[in-house]
Structure 1
Amino acid sequence: MQNMSPVQGIAELFRQKRGRLGVLGLGYVGLPICLAAARAGVEVLGFDIDPEKPAALHRGESYLHHLPNESIKEVMSSGRFTATADFSRLPEADALLICVPTPLTQHLEPDLSFVVATTETIAKHQRPGQLIVLESTTYPGTTAEVVCPILERSGLICGRDFLLAFSPEREDPGNASFSSANTPKVVGADDQVARDAVEAVYASFVSSTVPVSSTRVAEAVKLTENIFRAVNIALVNELKIVYEPMGVDIWEVIEAAKTKPFGFMPFYPGPGLGGHCIPIDPFYLTWKAREFGIATRFIELAGQINSSMPQHVTNKLAWALDMHSRKGLNGAKILVLGIAYKKNIDDMRESPALRLIEQIEARGAVTEFHDPFVPVIPHTREHAALTGRKSRPWSNDLPRGYDAVLIVTDHDCVDYGALVENAALVVDTRNACRRAGVHSRKLVLA
């Protein structure tokens, strides 16, 4: 009787919830997956190069604001989740999910250094009979062309000794309706055995899976989702600029247009794109397209429009100061309200607020900020000079000390009525005040 390949039993292990899941990277993507899988009865082993993260989790402490301590304590007390910085334990897992960042270089090219380093670590400890899944957003071909060759340096052969797949992360921090557990999971692999295995892994803890024919298709799905958002946001950003001198309110236009029950989907303008996906992912595709001699003109134009929005906001702030106080931006004192990239979370990745602060200060103003979710600006590669700046504590009197308040992030917990009442001027990039029912001559939309 012929011996069964070591990879043949992976799917059945997870169908019976006897497989152990390993998650590499315990950040905004990896940690929610760990919690969802453990809650569903899957045994989970989480890995992170920062030893403080596993230590905090074992103390029952969350380092992500949208995941409360109670959720960590609940899962840790179940005994189904262990976190570690000891990567020699990788062979204990039957499936390994790679959940690490994929940023851009300074030249807007893909930076796969985290993926490569993590894959090299796996290759050092890999054993036969494991499924490796890349979740990090990237260009079509990464799993097959970058990850697979590194793993095969171990002497193990893909498809025979281990399986390989791609499943794009779809995390939306702070979304109260959709989480890792109830968001459909796209899964792609380049052979049927791997496809069955990756589908079984995610089906053990998510509500539904969406299998596709290859890793390349799965990689393209994620890019398409985020490019769709980037392009449509660029469109409404441009419409805002076009309509403004015509005396047309883009926010009123969108509210009326979205009453059409077909053929329209509302997107909203803002101060620029933030987060780890939408500002970055389009450039992964444009870079890969050049390999095939294809120019992604539409996508690149959208990127240019979105990237220009912080400068538009800075100019509008300067104009508002001129009109309302006869005082220019040079020498003004500005309170930036909200520096997380979107409301009700503490995520600072690619936040347009950081660029705005730098641009405003370059024009001679002094800035301070208040953000109830971000007490201190963390270190970022692009905005290192802002590292360590602290949020001003909120009081209703706080706005009185500034020439203008610039609303960049529309956190729900802010009292916008008190803000407008006590501020000399409010420049609102999110329409937050009017959505809260606040109207004033001191309020300017940007």
Structure 2
Amino acid sequence: MQVEQTGALGELEEESEPLGEAEPPDRVELAVIGLGYVGLPLAREAASIGLRVVGLDRDPRIVEALNTGHSHVDDVSDEDVRRMRAAGFAAYTDDACLACAQSVVICVPTPLSEDGGPDLSAVKAAVRTVAGRLRPGQLVVLESTTYPGTTEEVVRPLLEESGLRAGPDFALAFSPERIDPGNTTHGLRTTPKVVGGCTPSCAARAVAFYGKLVDTVVQAKGTREAEMAKLLENTYRHVNIALVNELAVISHELHVDLWDAIRCAGTKPFGFQAFRPSPGVGGHCIPIDPNYLSYKVRSSLGYEFRFVELAQEINRRMPEYVVRRAQDLLNTAGRPLRGSRVLLLGVTYKPDVADQRESPAVPVARLLREREAEVSFHDPHVRLWSVDGAGVPRVGDVMAAVREHDLTILLQDHTAYDLPAIGDTARLLFDTRGRIFRPDVEVL
């Protein structure tokens, strides 16, 4: 292990009903709370190196599926789960499984609250659950993304209500998750793990734990720095995506091929990283996480984080811009948007996954429907899709559908799509991903 030093769970019920699960083992090296896209890969990695692992989730369907060898997460296969089970992994709805764990890692979601900050209800519920089972010598780590100060100001006081103190009695740390769904190049083990402890001894315990699971551990100065690192990573991407999205709007008006300009700028071997336009930002991280930092600045310092506010504004309006461009494209062909048949290709937030969280396809479909277009969709990873509670018809044969629809909008460039063939066949094609460059195709 290399160590570097630098300067899908809702609120847990206080009394969860077990599903007749087996008794938790007497010796558990890791308990993971929240068995979603972050927690389940962590449990898999730990089980793969021989650690005894248990998982806690309040959703009985998830627990039952995992215990029968079935995964609900894209990056974890059913075969992976069966290997985990063979290595001793078990999932529970009863928090008794935490009692004998040497380390407890909290991986619950932190969605946006109504005031724009993180909804910490699941984190607080999980921490209270841990506090009820806390014993001397345990390591507790929060991986859920949140604003700087959460570990010290929220998690630590709740745990210390047990009568035990962070540092002398138990170890407490924050380690931001860096899971990238669908990424087959950089997995949990090969992605450096940032760790910040409440005290030096807490940090040492967390570094030693994660050193078993990943190749490189990066020790932050403290928990606040580790929390800020996660927000910095995603705010950097959010702001730069907003930059190229606004440039896409401007370049279209100036008759500039922005995609070619990005290609040229990308040849510079220093000082530039290429970002590309999109119909909006999706997933949990980019459209959500920068809001946590904006909320913290606003609530603690009394002013706005202007870069984030502006990036949010630009990226939020991209679906409307896509629909306006689509309407212009139909008008040029002599058709109104109203009554036109529009096919959306790819409704997930990134290529080659089934994850639809915060996908820009939703506001695009909503706006098209508001303008009375007839909307259909296709996605090789999504069988059923609805917008605002109303189902969107799914087409079966993609090539037949692009021939029959008045306009096809490529929203996600899944590798399953034969893009050249789609370009040859579609009546009108609007490519929002910059994949089909030809004179008869409109590109964002």
User: Which TM-score applies when normalising by structure 2?
Assistant: 0.90
**1:401 alignment counterpart:** 404
Contact 1:65–1:373 (Cα < 8 Å) also in 2? no
- Alpha-carbon shift at residue 235 of structure 1 (Å): 0.7
C-alpha separation between the residues in 1 aligned to 2:42 and 2:54? 11
Structure 2: 5+ residue stretches without partners: 1-26
C-alpha separation between the residues in 2 aligned to 1:43 and 1:389? 44
- Alpha-carbon shift at residue 19 of structure 1 (Å): 6.4
Structure 1: 5+ residue stretches without partners: 1-17
Aligned pair in 2 of structure 1 residues 426, 252: CA closer, same or farther (>3 Å)? same
CA RMSD of aligned residues (A): 1.6
C-alpha separation between the residues in 2 aligned to 1:393 and 1:21? 44
Q: Matched residue of 1:21: which SS?
A: strand
Q: 1:152 aligns with which of 160, 172, 190?
A: 160
Aligned pair in 2 of structure 1 residues 85, 272: CA closer, same or farther (>3 Å)? same
Q: Matched residue of 1:54: which SS?
A: helix
Residues 342-351 or 291-300, more deviating: 291-300
User: Which TM-score applies when normalising by structure 1?
Assistant: 0.90
- Alpha-carbon shift at residue 424 of structure 1 (Å): 1.1
Contact 2:280–2:319 (Cα < 8 Å) also in 1? yes
Superposed CA deviations along residues 272-321 of structure 1, whole A, max 9, x for unmatched, are 00010110111111111121134211221111111111111010111111
**1:281 alignment counterpart:** 289
Residues 411-420 or 346-355, more deviating: 411-420
Say if 2:252 is the partner of 1:252.
Answer: no
Contact 2:245–2:276 (Cα < 8 Å) also in 1? yes
- Alpha-carbon shift at residue 239 of structure 1 (Å): 1.0
C-alpha separation between the residues in 1 aligned to 2:331 and 2:114? 35
Contact 2:402–2:426 (Cα < 8 Å) also in 1? yes
Say if 2:224 is the partner of 1:213.
Answer: no
**1:72 alignment counterpart:** 81
C-alpha separation between the residues in 2 aligned to 1:393 and 1:100? 36
C-alpha separation between the residues in 2 aligned to 1:355 and 1:84? 37
Q: 1:430 aligns with which of 425, 428, 433?
A: 433
Q: Matched residue of 1:396: which SS?
A: helix
**2:13 alignment counterpart:** none
**2:7 alignment counterpart:** none
Residues 40-49 or 415-424, more deviating: 415-424
Contact 1:42–1:205 (Cα < 8 Å) also in 2? no
Q: 1:29 aligns with which of 27, 38, 50?
A: 38
Aligned pair in 2 of structure 1 residues 181, 391: CA closer, same or farther (>3 Å)? farther
C-alpha separation between the residues in 1 aligned to 2:172 and 2:259? 46
Which structure 1 residue ranges, 4+ long, deviate > 3 Å from structure 2? 388-391
Amino acid of the residue matched to residue 122 of structure 2? F
C-alpha separation between the residues in 2 aligned to 1:241 and 1:281? 25
Contact 1:123–1:151 (Cα < 8 Å) also in 2? yes
Q: Matched residue of 2:108: which SS?
A: coil
- Alpha-carbon shift at residue 160 of structure 1 (Å): 2.6
C-alpha separation between the residues in 1 aligned to 2:388 and 2:37? 21
Size of the aligned set, in residue pairs, is 417
**2:384 alignment counterpart:** 376
Superposed CA deviations along residues 70-111 of structure 1, whole A, max 9, x for unmatched, are 2222332233x2222221211121111111111112442221
Superposed CA deviations along residues 243-281 of structure 1, whole A, max 9, x for unmatched, are 112221111111111111111111111000001011011
C-alpha separation between the residues in 1 aligned to 2:347 and 2:215? 33
Aligned pair in 2 of structure 1 residues 426, 66: CA closer, same or farther (>3 Å)? farther
**2:21 alignment counterpart:** none
Residues 150-159 or 273-282, more deviating: 150-159
**2:68 alignment counterpart:** 59
Aligned pair in 2 of structure 1 residues 307, 24: CA closer, same or farther (>3 Å)? same
Say if 2:51 is the partner of 1:42.
Answer: yes
Superposed CA deviations along residues 105-135 of structure 1, whole A, max 9, x for unmatched, are 2442221111112112222222222111110
